[in-house]
């Protein structure tokens, strides 16, 4: 249970970082495209490392962290590419972030389905957030927005939605694990 608690802390931290980055991008109106690329790349790299490490936690039912190995590696690679080749990737920044958000949202659709099967009361919240996240990811890919400011705001919204979605998954999954874990016997009683 201690490893699950540590994973929950890491996942909550990851979610807060995504939400904070999203808020930063919404209100960071003076950022250049290159600065935006470096900021998103660094945070993406950190989030990928957290996701990768979270995979190795003993999640009894495999709900919260089941895709984090592959998604962690993918996220770290995106972060490295954004940091090491920002000028080459600037044209595709919205597509790269959009793909990441769609993949994460799609995995959370499956998590919502499995949460429902386990009897989690608020499985529908994970489902709704996953759908919203995937839709925002699609908007990023098809880029109906012009200019750095509009792109920064929509990326910020996508990251906030993804962060809230991950936060819900972490909180509800841990509740589920606690509900089904057998209680420790008390050997001091006679």
Residue with more model confidence, 57 or 62: 57
Residue-level pLDDT at 57: 65
Of 118-122, 131-135, 184-188, which one has max mean pLDDT? 131-135
The answer, yes or no, to whether residue 61 has pLDDT greater than 60, is no
pLDDT for res 58 = 57
DSSP string, 123-145: HHHHHHHHHHHHHHHHHHHH---
In this prediction, residue 190 has a pLDDT band, given cuts at 50, 70 and 90, of: very low
Of all residues in the chain, what percent carry a pLDDT higher than 70? 73
Q: Say if residues 161 and 136 touch (Cβ distance below 8 Å).
A: yes
Handedness of CA 124, 109, 52, 62 (dihedral sign): positive
Cα-Cα end-to-end distance for the chain: 26
Count the helix, strand and coil residues of the chain and give each as a percent rounded to the nearest 5: 80, 0, 20
Give the whole-angstrom CA distance, residue 83 versus residue 38: 5
Is pLDDT above 50 for 186?
Answer: no
pLDDT tens digits along 126-184: 888 888 888 888 888 886 666 666 777 877 888 888 888 888 877 776 666 666 655 54
């Amino acid at each position: 249970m201690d490893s699950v608690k540590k994973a929950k802390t890491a996942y909550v931290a990851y979610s807060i970082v995504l939400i904070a980055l999203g808020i930063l991008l919404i209100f960071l109106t003076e950022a250049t495209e290159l600065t935006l690329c470096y900021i998103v790349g660094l945070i993406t790299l950190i989030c990928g490392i957290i996701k990768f490490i979270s995979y190795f936690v003993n999640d009894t039912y495999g709900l919260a962290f089941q895709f984090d190995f592959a998604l962690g590696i993918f996220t770290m690679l995106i972060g490295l590419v954004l940091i090491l080749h920002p000028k080459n990737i600037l044209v595709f920044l919205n597509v790269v972030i959009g793909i990441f958000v769609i993949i994460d949202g799609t995995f959370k659709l499956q998590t919502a389905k499995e949460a429902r099967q386990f009897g989690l009361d608020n499985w529908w919240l994970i489902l709704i957030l996953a759908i919203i996240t995937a839709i925002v990811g699609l908007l990023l890919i098809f880029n109906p927005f012009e200019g750095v400011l509009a792109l920064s705001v929509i990326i910020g919204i996508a990251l906030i939605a993804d962060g809230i979605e991950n936060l819900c998954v972490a909180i509800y999954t841990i509740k589920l694990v606690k509900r089904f874990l057998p209680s420790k016997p008390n050997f001091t009683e006679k």
